[in-house]
Amino acid sequence: MLETRNLTKSFGPIQVTKSVSLKLEKGERRVILGPNGAGKTTLFNQLVGEIIPNAGSIHLDGADVTALRVADRARRGLSRSYQKNTLFDALTIRENLGLAAAVALGKGQGLWSDPLQSPEVRETVREVAALVDLAPNLDATVSAVSYGIRRQLEVGIALATRPKVILMDEPTSGVGPEMSKGFHRLLKSLPRELTILIIEHDMDLAFDVADTITVLNYGEVVFDGLPEAAKGSQLLKDIYLGAWEDA
């Protein structure tokens, strides 16, 4: 469904992604682990096209999308959420979700009707709001709601495009353990055919939801396999926990 081949990116002399090759099957849930500065977010930025890699290729649903721009990749079913909330602050939550759904449905340039009133968009907004637990807050303006709710909306917007592949960049960063747990439930309730790639710091969450685990360190894939294998891996402990202790 989503594949990278030898993806490489440098900023000046620093290689932030070193020949990363990943392959996600349809419906796979993969968690990317790695210390700060391992190149996880840079990898995401390359996957969606916000950063252009120096070498290597990206394939989405069998097609090479390396040369496609951000919006074109999004239209092919790739969606992402951001580590730092990237919302429409002055709009209501309903409008945020509606806008995302409208754009994904190709209604973002339409002139003749209000997409937020269209049945498809309203249906998507209702569904996504139920999924990410935002139904009670739909008419609140983003700038007036709590950080936790914004965090849910961040993922909600990504889901409102009804993607084939969703990339989530630390969806639970900065929220409490209670909300983190709620997020586990959310992830498990998502349709099984949705392919999910998550950057996560919380190891428990990672092992709870992951079908497979990839560990990045200094821009390199140092582990790629099943969670059970990762759990016992001395390598993972050394790199990941070692870096934690350093930090």
Choose between 39 and 115: whose C-beta lies nearer to other proteins: 115
Binding mask 87-116 for other proteins (x = CB under 8 A): xxxxx---x--xxx-xxx--xxxxxxxxxx
71 binds other proteins (CB under 8 A): yes
Q: For 41-59, b where at least 16 C-beta lie within 10 A, e where not — what string?
A: bbbbbbbbbebebeebebe
Q: Do residues 146 and 136 lie in contact, with contact meaning Cβ atoms separated by under 8 Å?
A: no
Q: Return d(Cα 66, Cα 52) in angstroms, integer.
A: 8
Which CB atom, from 60 or from 236, has the smaller least distance to other proteins? Answer: 60
Helix (DSSP H) and strand (DSSP E) numbers for the chain: 10, 10
Q: Which is nearer to other proteins, 21 or 86 (CB)?
A: 86
The nearer residue to other proteins, 138 or 190, going by C-beta atoms, is 138
CB contact at 8 A, 186 and 15: no
Least distance CB 164 / other proteins (angstroms): 13
* Residue 210, burial from CB neighbour count under 10 angstroms (0-12, 13-18, 19+): buried
Q: How many CA atoms lie within 13 A of 87 on its CB side?
A: 28
What are 226's two structure tokens? Answer: 């099943």
**Residue number with CB closer to other proteins (73 or 236):** 73
CB of 176 to other proteins, least distance (A): 21
Q: Which stretch binds other proteins (CB under 8 A): 57-65, 67-75, 190-198, 214-222?
A: 67-75
Q: Of 75-83, 168-176, 191-199, 238-246, which part binds other proteins (CB under 8 A)?
A: 75-83
Does 16 contact other proteins by CB under 8 A? no
Per the CB < 8 A criterion, the answer to whether 157 and 97 are in contact is yes
Comparing CB distances to other proteins, the nearer of 21 and 146 is 146
Considering the complex, state which of residue 6 and residue 86 has its C-beta at the smaller distance from other proteins: 86
Which residues ranging from 124 to 153 are in contact with other proteins (CB under 8 A)?
136-140
Instruction: Using CB under 8 A, count the residues that bind other proteins.
Output: 40
Closest Cα partner for 30 from 63, 3, 7, 57? 3
Q: 10 forms bridges with which residues in the sheet?
A: 15
State which of positions 155-184 bind other proteins (CB under 8 A).
157, 161
CA 97/CA 44 separation, integer angstroms: 22
Binding interface with other proteins (CB under 8 A):
48, 50, 70-72, 74-75, 79-80, 82, 86-91, 95, 98-100, 102-104, 107-116, 136-140, 157, 161
